[in-house]
Chain A
Amino acid sequence: MASPSPKSPEQSEKTKQYDRQLRLWGDHGQFALENGHICLVNATVLGTEVLKSIVLPGVGAITIVDDKIVTDEDIGSNFFLECSSKGLNRGSEALRLLLELNPAVQGNAVQEPPDQILKENPDFFKSFTVVIATSLGEKTIQDLAQHLWDVNVPLILCRSVGFLGSFRIQMKEHAVIETHPDNEQTDLRLDVPFHALSEYLDSFDIDTLDLKDHGHIPWIVIIYKAVQKWRVNNPHWPMSRKEKNEIKGIIQDFIRKDENGVPINEENFEEAIRAVNTALMPTFLPAKSQELLYCSAATNITKESTPFWIMCAALRGFVESEGKGNLPVKGVLPDMTASTDHYIKLQNLYRTQASMDAEIVYRKVQQIVAQLHCENISEADVKLFCRHAHDLHLISGSSIVSEYQLTSSVASYIARHLEEPDVMMVHYILMRASEIFQSEHCRAPGDWEPEGDIAKLKTCVTKLLSDVSCSPFPKDDHVHEMCRYGGAEIHSVSAFLGGCVAHEAIKIVTKQYKPVNNTFIYDAGSTNTATFTF
């Protein structure tokens, strides 16, 4: 038998290899990732576990900064070191074994301590997409964080000790257009139908259709007709639960009956009744969008403004004029029982309107770009922006230095969470106190023997607590537990955090999905996590 062998759109090797992740962030996300360059400071277990999950999906390049020499303890817990690595530079050894994971990734190792680089060649860090640092002393953390804040390079600072771990993301500003919400709001405009939509909806007469067609009417039409009928006696849009129930009653009456007066099972009408609550949500400018469009970055556009803010400014122009207070139509129709013709017609109406709206926004973008002589923004980018205009997400970050210096807002934030009482904030205090201990005693608390360090660590904790105007902890149990850890790095705890940090770095590089804002605490002992925003 001859093979029908159609001209197959042969997928590239790369597309096949990355297939499972391309379904999550698309080819454009992959493109961004492949242009990313991640810097890791210190190839600890946590550090290499982070890089592993960034190298596998195919980041462009990695650079490891590490001046340490590989020890037995390193080999015992770090998968990206081997017995023969002992005595060699830790960063170079880890780099070699990490790059084996994916030949497409470039890599460098720099065998200098970060302090020295900051002093002698601070521009070194400027070129990275994200810097990830672990196992640093308090002083270096602040120096590095301050520098990266100044040069506007995102930093993820992470720790792993015993059953505890944390990471902190520092970014000045991070805008996400494709947030991929789990439950996306529909945007049907039944209360403010655009011309083509109302024309189409009005063309239906539910009562005169034959039974087969009746069962093929999309629920959007059904709800629209029910509301029209209801509004004969009510001037406003149905909002309350009672009014929505009246609409459901009208839809119920639309359902055809058989010769015995028993309602016929019509799936589309059932769907209409289920959809009433969401479909009748009035169209409005979400508070979050309002805030974004009218913040100073969007209203004071300059030559230095990023494309995101230029598009926000153009979008505001649209909302204020053509949009009559609303965002551009999304152009997405949920699936619903309907004949192919009805559904496709309706879908095309929404899509066409969406593309007309986006076109207007694009023209406004072009005007701004021309006025300011800044770099052009592609029509495709503007279209994508408009498609997701309802779910834009902006993170305005805070600096790690202000967190470390316990400015008054940080102090009161911590105090508030300690009063609740929130054990995850207690873990944060313990990790910070251990860092202070480390800089005072040049070793982790409990490194040699736990009991002797309990009192000393407690002093650090109490000092930290008094700095945020909190009284000392009534019990020593968390201090004791921290001394038990003795600075141990448990592989599975670091592997968990490594996965999370890699994940967040990928979100930052691809500018898709919402990253943690801004601090994540993990307790593997109780299997709990928490997010704090310093």
Chain B
Amino acid sequence: MASGETQTSTDQQRRWLHIRKLLERSGPFCHPDFEPSPEILDFIMESCKILIVGAGGLGCELLKDLALLGFRKLHIVDMDTIELSNLNRQFLFRKNDIGLSKAKCAVEFVNKRVPGCEAIAHHCAIQDLDEGFYRQFHIVVCGLDSIVARRWLNGMLMSLLQYNDDRSLDQSSVIPLVDGGTEGFKGNARVILPGMSACIECTLDLYPPQKTFPLCTIANTPRLPEHCIEYVKVIQWAKENPWGSNIALDGDDPQHVAWVFEKAQDRAMKHGISNVTYRLTQGVLKNIIPAVASTNAAIAACCASEVFKLATSCCTSMNNYMVMNMADGVYTYTFNAEKRPDCVACSNSTRVVEIEPQATLQSIYDKLCEDPAYLMKSPGITTVINGRNKTLYMSSIKSIEERTRDNLKKKLTELGLFNGADILVADVTTPNTVTIKLKFAEYQDVEMTR
């Protein structure tokens, strides 16, 4: 028995020999705080808790990479189930797993393959987990394809920041976020130290705007096969309701896709437009982003290396944003994305919006949706007047939308807002309400007291 245990522990020592060399030896390029010691491996294995967000193309890779870098206290969250089209890159899943939870399947596989790994799955949306859940982690690493979810997660980690009495950042409240993303042969990876370096909201302009087609083109002057597909999706479906009036178009239903494909082909034929294909139809309907195993592997591995560096200090971290393009050779570029001093998410200061006193609520609403600093989806706007909450506009709940719709046309002053007033904005892109202070343009030297 005793000899068996010793045997196991020497096996164990040998098994991790590769990373032990990095962790038990000092080098000229280590982080200044680094002190080589076997305890670092103990910390990685026994204490360091990592949250992996997303169990898709990047998430599967991240789970494998981190488990083989010695991390054991791994949590992974994903609300999705496995589909056939995932299998060309999400290598922890097999055909038999289709329909099962991605997070659970991934965890089961890796815990079995890597002895000692104690990964835990959360088959739910990130929004279902609360502050207390997120606060337990040392590092969060994110491999999502949704920008909205990424922004929400960023907002959550920013909201965990605590500030000392002198308004300096309490370092112990910082949970680093390592974020990766891919699209076809391109990708990016970045390290965010909340409150200290650029966060997702600081750099919203790095996300390309979504390609949309103007309605009049789709309806009146279609030229591309995409225009024909969009027409059927946006106009013809609602008009004909082929499966009944309350059946929404489902891009995952092959019959729905086939219907759209046929109608789009008819429309294309009528206008002399060629190349409407089933694949294109599906791509437009589901807004499919091409994906391949290799790009995901490279980007996830880069993120995993950064998690390892942050957890061990065995090397300085990436500063702080890497873009990668594998279409023409393999090209990467690493740069320092700058923190916005007035970032709504990470700056601990109230954002001030300058606006004409004559402006309507609609103009504020539009600004929140269109200004590259906000890019919100459906902001709900409230304020506090004489100590009472007042909802100015909210589109997410139908009855409130109907009740507040007229406010959009009203001037800010008619709604009881004044120079220096705060509005509170809620949106799917953030878990917290964002406070914005109004500054009327003609008031030059208004006192902006907090």
A238 at the B interface (CB under 8 A): no
**Chain A residues within 8 Å of B150, by CB:** none
**Do residues A490 and B18 form an inter-chain contact, with CB atoms below 8 A?**
yes
Which chain B residues (241-277) contact chain A, with CB distance < 8 Å?
242-244, 254-255, 257-259, 261-262, 271-273
Provide the A492-523 mask, 1 if CB < 8 A to any CB of B, else 0: 11111011101110100000011111001000
A79 at the B interface (CB under 8 A): yes
Given contact pairs A6-B262, A79-B64, A182 touches B327 in the complex (Cβ within 8 A):
yes
Among B17, B28, B278, B316, point to the contact of A76 (Cβ < 8 A): B17
Given contact pairs A20-B291, A72-B15, A489-B18, A503 touches B326 in the complex (Cβ within 8 A):
yes
**Do residues A493 and B315 form an inter-chain contact, with CB atoms below 8 A?**
no
Q: Which stretch (A302-310, A406-414, A479-487) binds chain B?
A: A479-487
Nearest chain B CB to A29 CB, angstrom units: 11
Among A71, A343, A504, point to the contact of B330 (Cβ < 8 A): A504
Seed contacts A23-B290, A78-B68; 9 additional CB < 8 Å A-B pairs:
A17-B84, A17-B88, A76-B68, A340-B271, A344-B272, A347-B223, A490-B22, A493-B305, A503-B185
Among B258, B271, B322, B325, point to the contact of A9 (Cβ < 8 A): B258
Which B residues are closer than 8 A to A by beta carbons? 11, 14-19, 21-22, 25-29, 61, 64-65, 68-69, 84-85, 87-89, 91, 94, 113-115, 184-185, 189, 217, 221-224, 242-244, 254-255, 257-259, 261-262, 271-273, 278-279, 282-283, 288-302, 304-306, 308, 315-316, 318, 322, 325-332, 334
Q: Which stretch (A48-56, A242-250, A251-259, A370-378) binds chain B?
A: A48-56
**Do residues A525 and B330 form an inter-chain contact, with CB atoms below 8 A?**
no
**Chain A residues within 8 Å of B259, by CB:** 4, 6
Separation of A47 and B22 alpha carbons in the complex (Å): 21
**Chain A residues within 8 Å of B113, by CB:** 79, 82
**Do residues A491 and B295 form an inter-chain contact, with CB atoms below 8 A?**
no
Instruction: Give 5 pairs: A residue, B residue, CB < 8 Å, sorted on A.
Output: A17-B87, A500-B298, A502-B293, A526-B318, A531-B329
Provide the A172-183 mask, 1 if CB < 8 A to any CB of B, else 0: 000000011110
Nearest chain A CB to B65 CB, angstrom units: 5
Given contact pairs A500-B298, A520-B330, A529-B330, A4 touches B15 in the complex (Cβ within 8 A):
no
Given contact pairs A9-B258, A58-B88, A484 touches B243 in the complex (Cβ within 8 A):
no
**Do residues B279 and A492 form an inter-chain contact, with CB atoms below 8 A?**
no
Residue of B21, B291, B308, B332 with most partner-chain A CB within 10 A: B21
Q: Looking at chain A, what size class is its interface with the partner chain? A: 35 or more
**Chain A residues within 8 Å of B289, by CB:** 20
In the complex, the chain A residue whose C-beta lies closest to that of B70 is A76
Provide the A10-52 mask, 1 if CB < 8 A to any CB of B, else 0: 1101001111111110000000000000000000000001001
A455 at the B interface (CB under 8 A): no
Nearest chain A CB to B439 CB, angstrom units: 32
**Do residues A24 and B290 form an inter-chain contact, with CB atoms below 8 A?**
yes
**Chain A residues within 8 Å of B282, by CB:** 19
A110 at the B interface (CB under 8 A): no
**Chain B residues within 8 Å of A337, by CB:** 217, 221
The 10 closest A-B pairs by CB, nearest first: A499-B297, A8-B258, A499-B298, A76-B15, A495-B301, A503-B294, A496-B301, A477-B28, A72-B14, A491-B68
A100 at the B interface (CB under 8 A): yes
Separation of A282 and B322 alpha carbons in the complex (Å): 37
Nearest chain B CB to A293 CB, angstrom units: 22
Provide the A310-329 mask, 1 if CB < 8 A to any CB of B, else 0: 00000000000000000000
**Do residues B29 and A21 form an inter-chain contact, with CB atoms below 8 A?**
no
In the complex, the chain A residue whose C-beta lies closest to that of B247 is A1
Separation of A428 and B26 alpha carbons in the complex (Å): 22
Separation of A62 and B329 alpha carbons in the complex (Å): 24
**Do residues A4 and B242 form an inter-chain contact, with CB atoms below 8 A?**
yes
**Do residues A527 and B14 form an inter-chain contact, with CB atoms below 8 A?**
no
**Do residues A477 and B330 form an inter-chain contact, with CB atoms below 8 A?**
no
**Chain B residues within 8 Å of A528, by CB:** 332, 334
Nearest chain A CB to B311 CB, angstrom units: 12
Residue of A82, A336, A340, A343 with most partner-chain B CB within 10 A: A340
**Do residues B88 and A20 form an inter-chain contact, with CB atoms below 8 A?**
yes
**Do residues B298 and A77 form an inter-chain contact, with CB atoms below 8 A?**
no
Nearest chain B CB to A174 CB, angstrom units: 12
In the complex, the chain A residue whose C-beta lies closest to that of B213 is A335
**Chain A residues within 8 Å of B85, by CB:** 16-17, 19-20
**Do residues B14 and A495 form an inter-chain contact, with CB atoms below 8 A?**
no
**Chain A residues within 8 Å of B272, by CB:** 340, 344, 348
**Do residues A500 and B328 form an inter-chain contact, with CB atoms below 8 A?**
no
**Do residues B14 and A500 form an inter-chain contact, with CB atoms below 8 A?**
no
Separation of A357 and B100 alpha carbons in the complex (Å): 53
**Do residues B91 and A56 form an inter-chain contact, with CB atoms below 8 A?**
yes
**Do residues A20 and B329 form an inter-chain contact, with CB atoms below 8 A?**
no
**Chain A residues within 8 Å of B114, by CB:** 79
Among A9, A339, A495, point to the contact of B261 (Cβ < 8 A): A9
A163 at the B interface (CB under 8 A): yes
Separation of A254 and B60 alpha carbons in the complex (Å): 57
Among A19, A58, A488, A520, point to the contact of B279 (Cβ < 8 A): A19
Nearest chain A CB to B95 CB, angstrom units: 8
**Chain B residues within 8 Å of A525, by CB:** 29, 315-316
Nearest chain B CB to A278 CB, angstrom units: 19
In the complex, the chain A residue whose C-beta lies closest to that of B66 is A492
Given contact pairs A162-B22, A491-B65, A502-B293, A18 touches B88 in the complex (Cβ within 8 A):
yes
**Do residues A488 and B22 form an inter-chain contact, with CB atoms below 8 A?**
yes
Nearest chain A CB to B208 CB, angstrom units: 13
Nearest chain B CB to A181 CB, angstrom units: 8
In the complex, the chain B residue whose C-beta lies closest to that of A19 is B85
Separation of A83 and B8 alpha carbons in the complex (Å): 12
**Do residues B329 and A515 form an inter-chain contact, with CB atoms below 8 A?**
yes
